[in-house]
A and B are shown apart, each in its own frame.
Chain A
Amino acid sequence: MPSLANPTRFLDLAGRAIPWLTALTVVLFGAGLYLAFFVAPPDYQQGDTVRIMFVHVPAAWLALFGYMLIAAASLGTLIWRHPLADVAAKAAAPIGATFTFIALVTGSLWGKPMWGTYWVWDARLTSMLVLFLLYLGLIALWQAIEEPGRAGRAAAILALVGAINIPIIKFSVDWWNTLHQPASVVRLGGPTIDPSMLAPLVVMALAFTLLFVLLHLIAMRAEILRRRVRAMQLTQVEQAALVEA
């Protein structure tokens, strides 16, 4: 970790990792989508609509993962003043928000044929919507504060306050008896989902995770370069002012 604290080292490493990650992501998505569409059997009750799960579930996992990443990076910003932590948090917010949005949209498309409605106000759906709003709040706060240092610390505080929502989302389906089904993959006593559907789901989850990491690396790199451009512009303006004076 300490060697990664140097933004130049990080840019170098990320630049070398991105092509490999891209290739791996494409391969995994190819395999995952093939398994999901042609190999996994249709559900005995839901028919082919069950295939929405292979997009919906990984997107929802990554939505939570994104927020946990931001919360962990926020600790790094506030406690250790790690120079890349606030870049990591800022870069993860729009990606996490997008995955949350995908989970909400695919969930509601799945809800229409299965539950008969696009939206119900059950605990899982409501808490995911709150997660989406938290992401939007974080992004808005970053955009409202011009000075990157203050923006990073303010957003870190807000992210940690909002982190209370994460366990509520995870356990909402167990605490309240809701329309959304309870956990069937990551649970005590092993998954209750059939192996023929579990395998494509795992591949798709891996593909989504790699996609998240890939997008995150690209976004972090862009953010570091953006800050450098900003710093260079500031010095140019200062020098121009000195010449004038």
Chain B
Amino acid sequence: MRAALALLKRDVALAFREGGAIGTALGFYLVVVAITPLGLGPDLNLLSRIAPGMLWVALLLAALLSADRIFHNDYEDGALDVLITGKLPLPLVAAIKSLAHWLTTGVPLALLAPLLGLLLNLPAQASPHLVLAMLFGTPAVSFVAAIGASLTLGLKRSGLLLALLVLPLYVPVLIFGVATASAAIAGPASPWPPFLMLCALSLASMVLAPLAAAAALRTALR
């Protein structure tokens, strides 16, 4: 347990101290959201209708861009070999590193979303629902991203490949995430059923994804 906590602390500290790891993802998020109205025209009604979807898509892209951070640095400097031969079970290592990615990427991105929602004329009453959906949906994003990151470890052009592998797996998260916010905006359906589906997706991927990621890590490092 202490080893697990130490690993979590180390990963979070590394993310904060490594130059601009979190800031870059937030900056990317801001840029994607900012260029959308330039492409679509400044029609506020249209923007407020597509705001939840745009915010979610931008969040997924921003989270994906930082996903190779989950294992890549430890792979380069050999720390991953130490972790594999260490006492912690490998799925637990993968789970902790995914959790660290969620804490340093998913949570900040979700908290930034209502601010960016102002740029897209997101209706104010939907903001809490959107943040809540993002906070509870991004664990699935981080844990599934860890599968992609472990599969593409040490490959050339791993960033593009990672996106191609992982984005199709995000479709359910995207659908239920947007459905939560859209129901809060337009009604009459309750926003809670899609929200609960989102929580279920997160819980399931927190249990299953580390197993797949650990198997992929063993494949990459043998």
B146 shortest CB reach to chain A, Å: 11
Q: Does A84 contact B (CB under 8 A)?
A: no
Cβ-defined contact, A144 with B157, below 8 A: yes
Contacting A at CB under 8 A, from B75-98, are: none
Selecting from B17-25, B66-74, B118-126, B165-173, the interface stretch reads B165-173
Contacting A at CB under 8 A, from B148-174, are: 151-152, 155-158, 161, 164-165, 167-169, 171
Q: Does B12 contact A (CB under 8 A)?
A: no
Mark A146-173 against chain B: 1 for CB-CB distance below 8 A, else 0.
0000100110011011100100000000
Cβ-defined contact, B165 with A126, below 8 A: no
Mark B29-41 against chain A: 1 for CB-CB distance below 8 A, else 0.
0000000000000
Cβ-defined contact, B171 with A162, below 8 A: no
Q: Does B45 contact A (CB under 8 A)?
A: no
B74 shortest CB reach to chain A, Å: 18
A127 shortest CB reach to chain B, Å: 8
Q: Does B132 contact A (CB under 8 A)?
A: no
Cβ-defined contact, B164 with A140, below 8 A: yes
How many chain A residues sit at the interface, stated as a range, is 20 to 34
Cβ-defined contact, A162 with B215, below 8 A: no
* A32 CA / B157 CA spacing, docked (Å): 45
* A141 CA / B157 CA spacing, docked (Å): 11
Q: List B contacts of A160 (CB < 8 A).
A: 212
Cβ-defined contact, A154 with B168, below 8 A: no
Cβ-defined contact, B155 with A161, below 8 A: no
Majority DSSP secondary structure for residues of A touching B = helix
Cβ-defined contact, B219 with A153, below 8 A: yes
Q: Does A87 contact B (CB under 8 A)?
A: no
Q: Does B189 contact A (CB under 8 A)?
A: no
A56 shortest CB reach to chain B, Å: 22
Contacting B at CB under 8 A, from A109-138, are: 126, 130, 133-134, 136-137
Cβ-defined contact, B151 with A157, below 8 A: yes
How many chain B residues sit at the interface, stated as a range, is 20 to 34
Contacting B at CB under 8 A, from A210-232, are: none
Q: List B contacts of A11 (CB < 8 A).
A: none
Q: List A contacts of B111 (CB < 8 A).
A: none
Q: Does B220 contact A (CB under 8 A)?
A: yes
Contacting residue for B169 out of A150, A154, A162, CB 8 A: A162
Q: Does B145 contact A (CB under 8 A)?
A: no
Cβ-defined contact, A137 with B165, below 8 A: yes
Supposing A144-B152, A144-B156 touch, asked if A130 and B168 sit within 8 A by C-beta, the answer is: yes
B156 shortest CB reach to chain A, Å: 7
Q: List B contacts of A158 (CB < 8 A).
A: 147, 151, 165
Q: Nearest A residue to B157 by beta-carbon distance?
A: A144
* A130 CA / B152 CA spacing, docked (Å): 20
Cβ-defined contact, B168 with A144, below 8 A: no
* A161 CA / B219 CA spacing, docked (Å): 16
Cβ-defined contact, A157 with B165, below 8 A: no
Q: Does A78 contact B (CB under 8 A)?
A: yes
A7 shortest CB reach to chain B, Å: 22
Q: Does A17 contact B (CB under 8 A)?
A: no
Cβ-defined contact, A157 with B215, below 8 A: yes
Cβ-defined contact, A157 with B147, below 8 A: yes
Q: List B contacts of A133 (CB < 8 A).
A: 164, 167-168
Cβ-defined contact, A144 with B215, below 8 A: no
Q: List A contacts of B155 (CB < 8 A).
A: 144-145
Cβ-defined contact, A162 with B212, below 8 A: no
Q: Which B residues are within 8 Å of any A CB, using their own CB?
A: 147, 151-152, 155-158, 161, 164-165, 167-169, 171, 209, 212, 215-216, 219-220, 222
A-B CB contact pairs (8 Å), 21 listed:
A133-B164, A133-B168, A134-B168, A137-B164, A137-B165, A137-B168, A140-B164, A140-B165, A141-B152, A141-B165, A144-B152, A144-B155, A144-B158, A150-B220, A157-B147, A157-B216, A158-B151, A160-B212, A161-B147, A161-B212, A162-B168
Other than the known A130-B168, A133-B168, what 7 A-B pairs have Cβ atoms closer than 8 Å? A133-B164, A134-B168, A140-B165, A157-B147, A157-B151, A157-B215, A161-B209
